[in-house]
Amino acid sequence: MPLVTTTDMLKKAYEGNYAIGAFNVNNLEIIQGITEAAAELNAPLILQVSAGARRYAKHVYLMKLIEAAEIDTGLPIAVHLDHGEDFEICKACIDGGFTSVMIDGSHHSFEDNISLTAQVVQYAHERGVTVEGELGRLAGIEDDVNVTDEDASFTRPDEVEEFVTRTGVDSLAIAIGTSHGAYKFKPGQTPRLRFDILEEVSKRLPGFPIVLHGASSVVPEFVKTINTYGGEMEDAIGIPEDMLRQAASMAVCKINIDSDLRLGMTAGIREHLSLNPTHFDPRQYLAPGRENIKSLVRHKIETVLGCDGKA
Ligand code: G3H
Ligand code: 13P
Ligand code: ZN
């Protein structure tokens, strides 16, 4: 099967009360760890690429690696631009074979977000590519942009129908209390998501797929391993998995995970090099990182997303 758009997979996820994992990728080992897990569980996949990942690895390398993953596994895989900030990067990704793009106009005014998003939708739809928009603003770090807690804002349900109707987007990312990066809640703080906003948004957009960014759980075992083997991470608290499961059973059809992959890769490499200080072959220390990613993604698919067997 060639690379696919997100249309079919998100529709089935909505109807089946589960979610598709959207995993950020930037190298061979990350792509292999994710796709091997998905292949064993027969799960559809969204592999997403940020502007930073695209700069790091180059568009063509990532595109070819993802095509290779599709050939290797035969899974339905969508290749998606994560947090496209302007029309130009969306156009470059559409022209370069991506099947889906996100235009993140959440930093603009409502009207400017609508006109930018509508421009991307028109270009994308004429070429059979799906588009994700965003309303509301998450805290945390994306590329070099650091949105402080004070600047973050929840999605306003009274804006979503107008936004979706006037832009024509295929899915909508909303802000309900998740945030990017490994430090989502302060030590002692009880994680809380605004399920009331999700509920209200889904009432206003029946059948329409919602996207949750900033959805890493910040796996404690990975943080512990990193710190056991020389790391100095502070107490990191992520989104509890039962909350993600609840969101997946509601209108959330795409759940974005990047930080957990980074932690798994780093934990594997740190542990291996600490226990084997004479090793210098990258294959020896990258393989445990890849293995951690594979077991992480297996776990997410089976216990959080519920998309196993849905490919
Ligand atoms: O939402 C942001 C993703 O984690 C991508 O991060 O821009 O550092 O590649 P990045
Ligand atoms: P995390 O930092 O929680 O993994 O979020 C990733 C994300 O939203 C990518 O768009
Ligand atoms: Zn994001």
First to last CA, the chain: 11
Would the pLDDT of 62 be above 80? yes
What are the residue ranges of helices labelled H in 58-185? 59-73, 87-95, 110-125, 157-167
Over residues 259-284, mean pLDDT: 98
3-class secondary-structure state, position 254: strand
Active site residues: 82
CA of 100 to the centre of ligand 1 (A): 17
pLDDT tens column, 288-311: 999 999 999 999 999 999 999 999
> Which of 106, 174, 256, 266, when mutated, tests ligand 2's pocket best, judged by the most ligand atoms within 8 Å of its CB?
256
Centroid of ligand 3 to alpha carbon of 102 (angstroms): 10
**Model confidence at 187: pLDDT above 90:** no
Kindly give the pairing relationship between strand 171-174 and strand 130-135. parallel
Choice among 14-28, 140-154, 192-206, 258-272 with the minimum mean pLDDT: 140-154
User: Distance between CA atoms of 132 and 248, rounded to whole angstroms?
Assistant: 17
53 close to ligand 1 (CB < 6 Angstrom): yes
What proportion of the chain, given as a percentage, has pLDDT over 90? 93
- Does the pLDDT value for residue 143 go beyond 80? no
Query: Looking at residue 98, what is its pLDDT?
Result: 98
Over residues 225-244, the mean pLDDT reads 96
Q: Which of 263, 253, 153 is nearest to 217 (CA)?
A: 263
User: Which residues form the pocket of ligand 2, taking CB atoms under 6 Å from any ligand atom?
Assistant: 24, 82-83, 180-181, 213-216, 256-260
- Put simply, whether the predicted model's pTM sits higher than 0.75 gets the answer yes
Range from 15-24, 72-81, 139-148, 174-183 carrying the lowest mean pLDDT: 139-148
Q: Which tens digits make up the pLDDT trace of 93-118?
A: 999 999 999 999 999 999 999 999 99
Choosing from 216, 254, 296, 305 the residue with most ligand 2 atoms within 8 A of its CB, the one to mutate for a pocket test is 216
Query: Residue 148: what pLDDT?
Result: 67
Amino acid 145: pLDDT:
61
Distance from the CA of 152 to the center of ligand 2, in angstroms? 15
Q: How far is the CA of 114 from the centre of ligand 3 (A)?
A: 19
What is the number of other CB atoms lying within 10 angstroms of the CB of residue 94? 22
| Per-residue pLDDT at 16 | 98
- pLDDT higher than threshold 90 for residue 149: no
